[in-house]
């Protein structure tokens, strides 16, 4: 268990000053946990056509809602341009981009350069099967349902690195600890 947690800590939070991607049913949980781990100001970008709204108070178990900036972009290109500017500015720790269209290689590379320049982390939440070759890592996150676990316990999740420019592809079963605002790796024995 200790070795598994140590190995996980070398991958999460993902490398700073880079842009990463996450998909799957638990992608939002990954983004919230990352925002909580980084601890700084978070800019959350999405296209204005989304019908639902984000309530910053819902982020409270993960991070202080006062550290969350929400912005609606009129288009996909405006969202990417806003993300690039925010990453480059150095004024935020994390830029989360909810995207619904592919990010081209040129745009992805621009995001990487901006993240490096501003020493910030970028995270694209994207639909399954979509991604950019420029991303440093791509994660797939999904809940692991277990009827035997108490209802008061947080849902287990499987976080898997499906792309990693630094090499290792790996998967972990994790859970969120709301008291410590940390992700914990769950040992295989504890899952049974």
Averages of pLDDT over runs of 10 residues in the chain (192 residues) are: 69 94 96 93 95 84 92 97 98 97 95 98 95 94 79 79 91 88 77 44
pLDDT at 10: 86
The set of residues, in sequence order, having a beta carbon less than 8 Å from that of 81 and lying 6+ positions away, is none
Three-state secondary structure call for residue 105: helix
Q: Listing from the earlier edge strand, what are the strands of the sheet with 94-98?
A: 68-73, 42-47, 94-98, 121-125, 19-23, 137-144, 156-164, 171-177, 182-185
pLDDT at 56: 84
pLDDT at 191: 47
Token reading at 113: 């350069």
Neighbouring CB atoms inside 10 A of 26's CB total 23
* Domains identified in the chain and CATH numbers: 2-187 (3.40.50.300)
pLDDT at 154: 65
Cα 184 from Cα 156, distance rounded (Å)? 10
């Amino acid at each position: 268990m200790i070795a598994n947690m140590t190995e996980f800590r070398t991958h999460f939070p993902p490398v700073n000053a880079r842009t990463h991607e996450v998909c799957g049913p638990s992608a939002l949980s990954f983004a919230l946990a990352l925002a909580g781990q980084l601890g700084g100001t978070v800019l959350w970008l999405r296209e204005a056509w989304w019908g639902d709204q984000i309530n910053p108070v819902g982020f409270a178990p993960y991070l202080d809602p006062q550290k969350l900036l929400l912005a609606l972009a009129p288009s996909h290109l405006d969202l990417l341009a806003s993300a690039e500017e925010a990453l480059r500015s150095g004024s935020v720790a994390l830029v989360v981009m909810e995207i619904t269209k592919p990010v081209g290689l040129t745009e992805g590379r621009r995001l990487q350069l901006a993240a490096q320049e501003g020493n910030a982390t970028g995270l694209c939440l994207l639909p399954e099967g979509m991604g950019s070759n420029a991303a440093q890592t791509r994660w797939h996150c999904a809940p692991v349902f277990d009827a035997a676990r108490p209802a008061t316990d947080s849902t287990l999740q499987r976080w898997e690195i499906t792309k990693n420019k630094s090499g290792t592809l790996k998967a972990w079963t994790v859970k969120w600890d709301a008291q410590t605002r940390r992700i914990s790796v769950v040992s295989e024995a504890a899952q049974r």
